[in-house]
Amino acid sequence: MDPVSTASLEVSGLAFAYPDGHQALFGVDFCVARGERVALLGPNGAGKTTLVLHLNGILTGGTGTVKVAGLPVGRQHMAEIRRRVGIVFQDPDDQLFMPTVREDVAFGPAAAGLKGAELEERVDRALERVGMAEFKDRPPHHLSFGQRRRVAVATVLAMEPEILVLDEPSSNLDPASRRELADILRSLDVTVLMVTHDLPYALELCPRSLILSEGVIAADGRTGEVLADDELMRAHRLELPFGFDPRSVTMGA
């Protein structure tokens, strides 16, 4: 099967410089097939955030192309692109601003025109997928950090995206919340691109990893093999936790 024909995401020759002249991306190329879970790794300053902001058109104006399910990211398709690419930011409080969990999850679909029973069903389904249905009427600020992160995921799932982009999803989570989120992510039938410094989490959840370094893709391979390549890891300032051996861990499926 041709991977391009089933691609959720195709990035080709993507280069971008900020108005101050700082060049963040120098020609990024990669393809993510439908249903893949892929980790995007790299040191601080590698261009990961700049890349992510191109995936749904928050940043534009560079060179190269980004396609989502075959649609080029551009003004003509922007509404559909932003429905198909859901970004879950590192801080859930950046996404939760309504008086109740239900209203937060309903916000996107309501803005897209959903109403009545159809809207309620969409909200309920998204909350059930993240195990937060019983908290529907709670104010988000009364929830734990891990619960708020799950609700933030639900706000994106309510838009029924094709691609879920997660920015440091395990940061600031206690071990139980970290495991609960991993179980949720494994259960979702969507394409996942996970930006993370948490290398064991990448190994647990993502069979494939990309290393973005100095604005280009420096490595693309099976996560266990990427993390076990000591020379590659050192070259791109990536360090595993003390005592963690990726060779001894069974890969997540």
Q: Enumerate the domain spans of the chain.
A: 7-248
CA distance 81 to 1: 25
* pLDDT the model gives residue 35: 94
Among 174, 190, 241, residue whose Cα is nearest residue 9 = 190
231 has a pLDDT exceeding 50: yes
**Structural contact between residues 10 and 180, judged by C-beta atoms closer than 8 angstroms:** no
Position of tokens 């249905």? 133
Average pLDDT value over all residues in the chain:
93
Q: Tokens for 105?
A: 């999850």
253 has a pLDDT exceeding 80: no
* Lowest-pLDDT range of 58-62, 95-99, 170-174: 58-62
Among 97, 68, 75, 52, residue whose Cα is nearest residue 8 = 68
- 251: confidence class by pLDDT, cuts 50, 70, 90: low
9 has a pLDDT exceeding 90: yes
CA distance 172 to 146: 8
* pLDDT the model gives residue 249: 76
- Please return the burial class of 33, using the count of CB atoms within 10 Å of its CB with bins 0-12, 13-18 and 19+: middle
Q: How many CB atoms lie within 10 A of CB 71?
A: 14
Q: What percent of the chain has pLDDT over 70?
A: 96
216 has a pLDDT exceeding 70: yes
State the amino acid at position 227 in one-letter form. L
158 has a pLDDT exceeding 90: yes
Average pLDDT over residues 89-104: 95
Q: Tokens for 195?
A: 């930006």
- The CATH number of the structural domain formed by 7-248 is 3.40.50.300
